[in-house]
Structure 1
Amino acid sequence: MANTPKKLYRGTASTTQAVVYTVPASTSTIVTNLVAANSGTSAASLLIRIGGIAIVPNTPIPANGIFTLDVTQVLDASTTIDVQASATTVGVHISGVEVTA
C-alpha cells in the first residue's frame, strides 16, 4: 500500500461551484489541511464541499485574511471536492494523502 502526500488543489476559487479534485479509481484520499487566503480589500465567503456535503459552509474570510482547517476526512474513489467563493480574490490550498493498494 502506497501513501503519497499530495497537493489536491492549489488555485483561485471560482465564483461558481467548481470541482477541483476527484479521487482516482482504486484510490482513497485523506484530506488533511485546507487553507484559504483572501487577497482582496473586501471580505469574501468560501464554500467547500466534499462529496456534495459542505465542510466549509459559506465561511467569511476578512479582507487580506486567512482561514485554516486541519481535518482528517477519508474519501473513497470518485468522491469530489468542490470550491466556490464570493470573489476571485480567494486562493485555496487543499492538501492530503492518496492511498493506493
Structure 2
Amino acid sequence: MEGLEARIATVWRDVLKLDAVGRNDNFFDIGGHSLLAVQLHRSLRDFVGRPLALTDIFRFPTVAALARHLADGEDDSAAQAAEARASGRRAVLRRGRTGARPALATVTRG
C-alpha cells in the first residue's frame, strides 16, 4: 500500500489495535463496530486532513474503497454538508441552552 491507502491503514491499525490490515479487509469483519467507527472517523478526519462523513466508514468499509472514495472526491459536497451540520450542532451544544425551561408541574391528590 502507498500514499492515501497507507495512511488510512495506519489509522485502522491504531484504532483496531492490529499489527496488520489488508487493503481489502472489511473494517467490521476484522473487529470494528459502531463505537470504533466513531473513533476511526475522528482519527481519519484529522490524519487525512479533509472532510469525511461518519457514514463513509460504513459505505466504504475497506481501506481500498475508502481511499478510492477520498481520492475521487465522490460525494464531497455531501461530506462537507454533513460536516457543516455537525459543526453547527456542536456549537449549539457548547453554547448550552438559552432561555428558561418550563417548570414541571406537580400533582397532589388528596
Q: Same fold by TM-score, threshold 0.5 exceeded?
A: no
More strand by share: 1
TM-score normalised by length of structure 2: 0.24
More helix by share: 2
Rg larger in structure: 2
